[in-house]
Amino acid sequence: MLKYFLPDQYLQSVYHLNLNDLRKKNIKGIITDLDNTLIEWDRPEATPELLDWFRLVEQQGFQVTIVSNNKKERVGKVCAQANIPFIHSARKPLRKAFIKAQKKMKLPKEQVIVIGDQVLTDIFGGNRAGFHTVLVVPVSSSDGFLTKINRKIERRVLKRLKEKGLIPWEESS
């Protein structure tokens, strides 16, 4: 069961994603979370840096779909700025939204990665759905109420994974 909480990869941020490596692995699609993965959970709009990243990723031939547990208004406002498709109210960690995003991209699972900042929603859901998963450091140190609860559980899970020698990276406190 613990293996479902273990990401395939760990990065400082989406900006550290090596697009050349993804291309060599025949990855063509990126499913990503929004809040605290791409922008702060309480930031109303995309940052210029994020808009540049979206342009770069698309210019490099990758498809991007945002899968978020947040409401349509929140996710839609950010995605409209970059014309990025999205799925809102995703109910992660359920697999349905991840699979729906992959099918909308018309790509096989092997060509899609899932990126997120939460082990209990993004990584757990992405792994259960059969995708390569990438955990990133949250872009903000603050969280909404429910995410604060998830983070407490997440710390316990990560501690357990570390005790079993399954975490190959060093966490910063």
The verdict on whether omega for the bond into residue 93 sits within 30 degrees of 0, i.e. cis, is: yes
> Which domains does the chain carry?
2-163 (3.40.50.1000)
Please give the average per-residue pLDDT across 35-55, as a whole number.
94
pTM of the model: 0.86
pLDDT at 138 over 80: yes
Q: Which pLDDT value is given to residue 44?
A: 87
Q: Which pLDDT value is given to residue 173?
A: 39
